[in-house]
Amino acid sequence: MKLIGPFKQIVTLADLPLRGKISDDQIDIILNGGILIDNGLINNVGDFEILKNDNPDAETVIVEGDQIALPGFVDSHTHICFGGNRANDFAMRNAGKTYLEIAESGGGIWSSVQHTRNASEEELLKTLLERIQFLISLGITTIEIKSGYGLDVENELKMLRIIKKAQSQTPAKLVPTCLSAHLKPRDFEGGNQEYLEYILTEILPKVKDENLAQRVDIFIEKSAFQPEESKEFLLKTKDLGFDITVHADQFTPGSSRIAVEVGAKSADHLEATIDEDIEFLAKSDTVATALPGASLGLGEKFTPARKLLDAGAIVAIASDWNPGSAPMGNLITQASILATFEKLTTAEVLAGMTFRAAYALSLENIGKLEPGKKADFVTFKTDNFQNVLYNQGSLNAENVYIDGNLIH
């Protein structure tokens, strides 16, 4: 047993609800608290002195100065395995070029596919681990990572194998997702339906055999895959035993409805979701994931997180870190900014980056500091947890613990 403390404040998030709005007075704060850890799991959280007296044999790690502790953050949507960068896309967009013009001049997702295909495995692994390290330094302890820049058997498997290899070299908990249905690659002979069939018959069985991912994602959008063909594809992936997540309603509404209909774990983006579909999402168990990093990267509107929460949805917040639409990668900054524009309470933002995001990844033992959950938590040198969002990402995490081990 190990006892860590005393913390000026421990914000456990233990009593907060899975869905809907939360007011800040629902946040339970333990003052002068300690976290008692047994075998990587939280044994107890409570008053430090009482825990110390009750557990005289526990190894005690004393925390110096004023610090607060929060559950480790969960980034439930990233594309951080990629080659090259798209700084030129960013500059061209800001200079007024359209998506089509950028794609035609060699940018867009296809350009990242070419860079990723051409990159060596060593290079991809190295940059992936660097990005993971950056996320850990923010206090993020669980990271979802998508494929989707390979877009053929060889390169999709290459990406997923690299993500698996990264897992053996980082304490962060990685959750891989197969996004072969990101876009039909330019060199594929056949239409969208043939490509989706190719994923089902050539890619997914191998992903299963090698246990490379348990989740499948698709980008449903005018420029990518159409609603009907996507729905058929998703139902088949479900039959193969995969969990489903969807890039939905980013520019055009309609696909979050499909996500709900097929029982997706999450529908992500939702910048263009119409009111009727907000209600539909809110009545489902499909997590509505806001991706403010994409809104900031593209200069587009934010996901209507306030409306979704008021309607009763399960709202998560993720970074979408990718080379195209969301190059920043700082989830804390992005979530803080989303809060100011969407008028989200601190409780709603913290829930969205912790247990609600974990729910989207089917991880029930992560995201709250309570007995039985993983001892994944982040500390900040401050006497008030509100400072984390108030500083909009510029208050650095002090320490990061995963499975009870100090890793940052």
Q: Cβ distance 83 to 112 under 8 Å? A: yes
Residue nearest to Fe ion (CB): 320
Among 109, 138, 260, 272, interactor with ligand NIG by CB under 6 A: 109
- Position 342 contacts ligand NIG (CB under 6 A): no
> What single-letter amino acid sits at 398?
E
Q: Min. distance of Cβ 325 from Fe ion in angstroms?
A: 7
Helix 108-118 to helix 153-167 angle, to the nearest 10 degrees?
Answer: 70
320 binds Fe ion (CB under 5 A): yes
Nearest to 304 by CA among 291, 293, 318, 294: 291
Residue 127 binds which entry of Fe ion, ligand NIG, none, CB below 5-8 Å type-dependent: none
- Near ligand NIG by CB under 6 A: residue from 142, 147, 322, 333: 322
CB of 148 to ligand NIG, least distance (A): 7
The residue (of 78 and 333) whose beta carbon lies closer to ligand NIG is: 78
Q: Which of residues 262-301 bind ligand NIG (CB under 6 A)?
A: 294
Q: Does 9 bind ligand NIG (CB under 6 A)?
A: no
Shortest Å distance, C-beta 123 to ligand NIG: 18
Looking at the Cβ atoms of 67 and 230, the one nearer to ligand NIG is: 230
Q: Which position among 67, 250, 284, 334 is part of the footprint of ligand NIG (CB under 6 A)?
A: 250
Q: Does residue 230 bind ligand NIG (CB under 6 A)?
A: no
Helix (H, G, I), strand (E, B) or coil at 384: coil
CB 377 within 8 A of CB 38: no
What does residue 45 show for φ and ψ, rounded to 5 degrees?
A: -130, 130
Is residue 6 reached through a cis peptide bond, with omega within 30 degrees of 0 on the bond before it?
A: yes
Q: Which of 165, 272, 176 is nearest to 221 (CA)?
A: 272
Q: Which stretch, 206-214, 229-237, 318-326, 338-346, contacts Fe ion (CB under 5 A)?
A: 318-326
Binding site for ligand NIG (CB under 6 A): 79, 109, 112, 219, 247, 250, 294, 320, 322-326
Binding site for Fe ion (CB under 5 A): 320
